[in-house]
Chains A and B, each alone.
Chain A
Amino acid sequence: MAMLSRLASRSSHLGRTLLLPRSLCCSTGGRHFASSAGDEGPTFTVETSVPFVGHRCEPPSREVETTAKELMGFFRDMSLMRRMEIAADALYKAKLIRGFCHLYDGQEAVAVGMEAAITRKDAIITAYRDHCIFLSRGGNLVETFAELMGRRAGCSNGKGGSMHFYKKEGGFFGGHGIVGAQVPLGCGLAFAQKYLREETVTFAMYGDGAANQGQLFEALNISALWDLPAILICENNHYGMGTAEWRAAKSPAYYKRGDYVPGLKVDGMDAFAVKQACKFAKEHALKNGPIILEMDTYRYHGHSMSDPGSTYRTRDEISNVRQERDPIERVRKLILLHDLASVAELKDIEKEIRKEVDNAIAEAKESPLPDPSELFTDIFVKGCGTEVYGVERKENKILI
């Protein structure tokens, strides 16, 4: 019980608000991220790690309502994401994944927290660190690995690669390689939502590196002028590739950079803080237009697989964050604290996840590579049904 006392000393608040359930239904079934009603298990309140800091707005409360099912779901989903990214690392080193591969491990809390606060009708658009967001929007492991390996079963038929994952029916608009370009796209999505009166919002995600892009401020200005339901999420992992934030931005308070647009600073390693902030942001955006959320997060890997990640930061820093702020560990502690599962049961879940990932990789490996001739002439297996051509239609016409 050393764990309990450590937690208790960190915040005495917890002791007052928690309810210790006697028994519970630990839902481990299903790799789907959509939560269904019923059988949620007991409800309790969790306090976020640190208070929110607001800019031009009243920050929401630190107390977050949650259920046993949601908490277990967070653990499972984040562990799955973590496992998937680590497996992708191994595949890249085995040269099965080529080109660029940007891994999200460390930042999982942003993906699951956001998903918990919204519906699939809300839209998310992000940059190239998109594997986990794709999963949380309804993607499955096989199409993820197949796409990374350039196979036909991939979510973009093998033609997109790591940086171009999309899931239209899940409201996930990609998957973009050019830094910052996805933010105006996201504001355009928000425009469409307002135009069509859908009462939904768009989360346009970008990093601390992209925060200095001019088109971001252009899009923010237009969104504020037209009151678009756009929520800009800055995933501040403190390094724009190899450049630390203090070397790139005169003002690294990204949540304040919107100036006239309200902002909120959130601990991005705390899934509940993320969930609370996103819920708050959605309500705000539907009534008052754009808002910026800065997620204070961290990536364990380097910028991409070509970057060791240790030339611009110390190994101590990385291991410190892993020890003190790891999102999965935080949730694990909460689960144990609330007696929702035992250490052994959690280990079992992790083992199961490992097997699931391994199976998915094996299945993805079976999928064939696109045939070379398909680039120029043929219809794809599940074709898009559209033609693309050069100036000479007869000579170079592609049916994709």
Chain B
Amino acid sequence: MRDGEDVGHYGGSYKVTKGLATKYGDLRVLDTPIAENSFTGMGIGAAMTGLRPIVEGMNMGFLLLAYNQISNNCGMLHYTSGGQFKIPIVIRGPGGVGRQLGAEHSQRLESYFQSIPGLQMRQPVVLFEHVLLYNLKERIPDEEYVLCLEEAEMVRPGEHVTILTYSRMRYHVMQAAKTLVNKGYDPEVIDIRSLKPFDLYTIGNSIKKTHRVLIVEECMRTGGIGASLRAAIIDNFWDYLDAPVMCLSSQDVPTPYAGTLEEWTVVQPAQIVTAVEQICK
């Protein structure tokens, strides 16, 4: 059961749900009015009875309007009801800096949701997708496969430095990796995927091997995902570090409209290359 604005007949504003309405019908793919607070609340109410809704925000920024429902009800109901109600809901939505969409449509809200107690990568689940990644084409295996959402993905094994990243920044990192390899470095790139909990097993094994960490994120520097990841690494793997943990994040500014300015708010591959060179000195 999916509900959100224009997910049905329109196929979703990024065509994610294209074809679903025709296949599953109007009761399972629901076009809602522009009322994020209430349709998120309704999704949670339906989940309380055991249905498994997927709520799609047209843009992650719009889900700020539903923040009360997500934080107070979605995250906490299982706990405050003493375990009586499970909330098997998935809330997903595109976010991140796109192509000059302006400040309010370029939000990176992962960290706002990260600190909600009770919200995690099991139920309920909040999925952050990046607007620009929808256009990437990749081969998907034909058979059904199940990905474990909690595990980090080893994108490129290496020996010199561990680069931890997620979402769109992964692609910037891989671009930087090409340059780095040409310069003689061997970075290990891990897409952490799960923002809560962190897959400290995979991350830890990597740090034990390379002893150097660089975090590359699109989130804001202040209170971003990188901040809590850094804390986790220092708490757990201090003894294995040969250099300070570096973190490259977006600038703490609303995203400007002008193309060049927008580019400078997020981390670019050149900056990643410089950072790796600095760490490995």
Asked if A166 contacts B85 (CB within 8 A), the reply is yes
Asked if A184 contacts B38 (CB within 8 A), the reply is yes
Asked if B235 contacts A391 (CB within 8 A), the reply is no
Measured CB to CB, the closest approach of chain B to A300, in angstroms, equals 27
Interface size on A, residues (CB 8 A): 56
Asked if B82 contacts A384 (CB within 8 A), the reply is yes
Q: Say yes or no: is A76 at the interface (Cβ < 8 Å to chain B).
A: no
Q: Say yes or no: is A285 at the interface (Cβ < 8 Å to chain B).
A: no
Residue of B nearest to A397 (CB): B197
Asked if B46 contacts A192 (CB within 8 A), the reply is yes
Q: Measured between alpha carbons, how far is A221 from B200 in the docked complex, in Å?
A: 45
Of A391, A393, A394, most B-chain CB atoms within 10 Å: A391
Asked if B80 contacts A389 (CB within 8 A), the reply is no
Q: Say yes or no: is A307 at the interface (Cβ < 8 Å to chain B).
A: no
Listed stretches A168-176, A264-272, A315-323; interface member? A168-176
Residue of A nearest to B32 (CB): A222
Quick one: CB contact mask for B17-61 with A, threshold 8 Å, 1 for yes?
000000000010010110101111111111111110000000000
Residue of B nearest to A194 (CB): B27
Q: Say yes or no: is B72 at the interface (Cβ < 8 Å to chain A).
A: yes
* Contact residues in A for B170 (Cβ distance below 8 Å): none
* Contact residues in A for B44 (Cβ distance below 8 Å): 184-185, 188
Q: How large is the interface on B (under 10, 10 to 19, 20 to 34, 35 or more residues)?
A: 35 or more
Asked if B196 contacts A166 (CB within 8 A), the reply is no
Q: Measured between alpha carbons, how far is A187 from B229 in the docked complex, in Å?
A: 38
* Contact residues in A for B273 (Cβ distance below 8 Å): none
Residue among B40, B46, B236 making CB contact with A394, cutoff 8 Å? B236
Q: Say yes or no: is A43 at the interface (Cβ < 8 Å to chain B).
A: no
Asked if B83 contacts A386 (CB within 8 A), the reply is yes
* Given known A184-B40, A189-B45, contact A221–B198 (CB-CB < 8 A): no
Asked if B46 contacts A222 (CB within 8 A), the reply is no
* Contact residues in B for A386 (Cβ distance below 8 Å): 78, 83, 86
Asked if A222 contacts B33 (CB within 8 A), the reply is yes
Asked if B78 contacts A384 (CB within 8 A), the reply is yes
Residue of A nearest to B48 (CB): A173
Measured CB to CB, the closest approach of chain B to A196, in angstroms, equals 8
Asked if A195 contacts B114 (CB within 8 A), the reply is no
Residue among B33, B84, B196 making CB contact with A168, cutoff 8 Å? B84
Measured CB to CB, the closest approach of chain A to B230, in angstroms, equals 11
Asked if B83 contacts A174 (CB within 8 A), the reply is no
* Given known A184-B37, A391-B232, contact A157–B45 (CB-CB < 8 A): no
Listed stretches A27-35, A107-115, A212-220, A291-299; interface member? A212-220
Measured CB to CB, the closest approach of chain B to A330, in angstroms, equals 34
Asked if B82 contacts A181 (CB within 8 A), the reply is no
Q: Say yes or no: is B174 at the interface (Cβ < 8 Å to chain A).
A: no
* Given known A185-B45, A195-B1, A225-B33, contact A392–B197 (CB-CB < 8 A): yes
Measured CB to CB, the closest approach of chain A to B215, in angstroms, equals 13
Q: Measured between alpha carbons, how far is A225 from B31 in the docked complex, in Å?
A: 11
Q: Say yes or no: is B73 at the interface (Cβ < 8 Å to chain A).
A: yes
Asked if B83 contacts A185 (CB within 8 A), the reply is no
Residue of A nearest to B31 (CB): A225
Q: Say yes or no: is A191 at the interface (Cβ < 8 Å to chain B).
A: yes
Q: Say yes or no: is B118 at the interface (Cβ < 8 Å to chain A).
A: yes
Quick one: CB contact mask for A361-400 with B, threshold 8 Å, 1 for yes?
0000000000000000000000111111111111100001
Interface residues of B (CB under 8 A from A): 1, 27, 30, 32-33, 35, 37-51, 68-69, 72-73, 77-86, 114, 117-118, 120, 122, 195-198, 200, 228-229, 232, 235-236
Which 6 A-B residue pairs are closest in the complex by CB-CB distance? A188-B45, A384-B83, A184-B41, A218-B35, A188-B42, A218-B38
A-B contacts, 30 listed (Cβ < 8 Å): A156-B84, A159-B79, A159-B80, A160-B80, A166-B82, A175-B80, A178-B72, A181-B69, A183-B41, A184-B41, A185-B48, A186-B45, A188-B41, A192-B46, A196-B51, A214-B37, A215-B41, A218-B33, A221-B33, A226-B30, A384-B78, A384-B83, A388-B117, A390-B197, A391-B114, A392-B197, A392-B232, A392-B235, A393-B200, A400-B78
Given A123-B49, A166-B82, A393-B200, 10 more pairs with CB closer than 8 A = A157-B83, A168-B81, A173-B45, A184-B39, A192-B45, A195-B1, A214-B37, A388-B117, A392-B198, A392-B232
